[in-house]
Amino acid sequence: PLVSMTEMLNKAKAEGYAVGQFNLNNLEFTQAILQAAQEENSPVICGVSEGAARYMGGFKTVVAMVKALMEDYKVTVPVAIHLDHGSSFEKCAEAIHAGFTSVMIDGSHHPLEENIAITKKVVELAHIHGVSVEAELGRIGGQEDDLIVDDAEAAYAIPSECDQLVRETGVDCFAPALGSVHGPYKGEPNLGFDRMKEVMELTGIPLVLHGGTGIPTKDIQKAISLGTAKINVNTENQISSAKVIREVLAEKPNEYDPRKFLGPARDAIRETVKGKMREFGSAQKA
Ligand code: G3H
Ligand code: ZN
């Protein structure tokens, strides 16, 4: 069934595993992610960035596509459609009204008080509709690596502020930026586990780890042990699908039927997602 993240994340936190958020980029990603979830008997979160939603047509297209595939594939595991890095109250409202079951309001670029005010407003609307909310504090790195400690430290969320935001807004889960990076890592990631522990103890709600691509299994396990109940992965699926498309087209340069290269790409995404579900411990937890 289509559900919010609340129940699946509370269960994951209580039982010591994490639910994967896998980002949708097109039809084949959606197919692969839903197939993987059903085959692994795992709950799943379909992450949709504003850019990806625009690419696919819009929020309504995304909701219709996920719902129809769930019917056609006879999906019985819990599925959430989640707005990833929602940029404003208005965008979150649009997603909620289009049928998203969960939204992230990313106010991390605002000063704390403003982040809290926007997040609170989103929570008020979302909860009327039974929709769950994720918020963020600190700054998740992009291409910058933590070579200069001061810079890295500046991007880390401050535990007392996290506590304040969670208490004042009533969000259902929370993403403290603690050194994870979107896209591939340059070298080993340097996650702030001490702060993660503090944030867990202060807030008590399921934590979210962004930038899941390239984090070693030992760090994944440590994060889960410190209250991480949701892990976001996108780049790794993009890399595995692009690799297969390159291989097929290199082998058959005259191929033009998209199904001949997007089909194998879909299979590669499905296998990558299944591996993540086992690694995160959500397999057989639906
Ligand atoms: O919100 C999206 C995720 O944090 C994805 O990160 O592309 O590095 O796996 P990633
Ligand atoms: Zn992210």
pLDDT for 148 equals 40
Residue nearest to atom 2 of ligand 1 (CA): 232
Expressed in angstroms and rounded, the spacing between residue 1 Cα and the centre of ligand 1 is 25
pLDDT for 152 equals 53
Residues of the chain with confidence (pLDDT) below 50:
143-150, 153
The answer to whether residue 245 is domain-embedded is yes
Residue nearest to atom 6 of ligand 1 (CA): 211
The answer to whether residue 36 is domain-embedded is yes
Q: What is the pTM of this model?
A: 0.95
Domain limits for position 32: 6-136+208-214+229-280
Ligand 1, residues 19, 23, 46: which to mutate, most atoms within 8 A of Cβ?
23
The answer to whether residue 148 is domain-embedded is no
pLDDT for 186 equals 81
The answer to whether residue 46 is domain-embedded is yes
The answer to whether residue 34 is domain-embedded is yes
pLDDT for 191 equals 95
> Domain of 28: which CATH number?
3.20.20.70
Ligand 1, residues 233, 272, 273, 280: which to mutate, most atoms within 8 A of Cβ?
233
The answer to whether residue 193 is domain-embedded is no
The answer to whether residue 30 is domain-embedded is yes
The answer to whether residue 223 is domain-embedded is no
Number of domains in the chain: 1
DSSP symbols for the chain: -B--SHHHHHHHHHHT--EEEEE--SHHHHHHHHHHHHHHT--EEEEEEHHHHHHHT-HHHHHHHHHHHHHHTT--S-EEEEEEEE-SHHHHHHHHHHT-SEEEE--TTS-HHHHHHHHHHHHHHHHHTT-EEEEEES--BSS--TTSHHHHHHHSPPHHHHHHHHHHH--SEEEE-SS-BSS--SSS----HHHHHHHHHHH-SPEEE---TT--HHHHHHHHHTTEEEEEE-HHHHHHHHHHHHHHHHH-TT---HHHHHHHHHHHHHHHHHHHHHHHT-TT--
Residue nearest to atom 10 of ligand 1 (CA): 211
Name the residues annotated as catalytic: 84
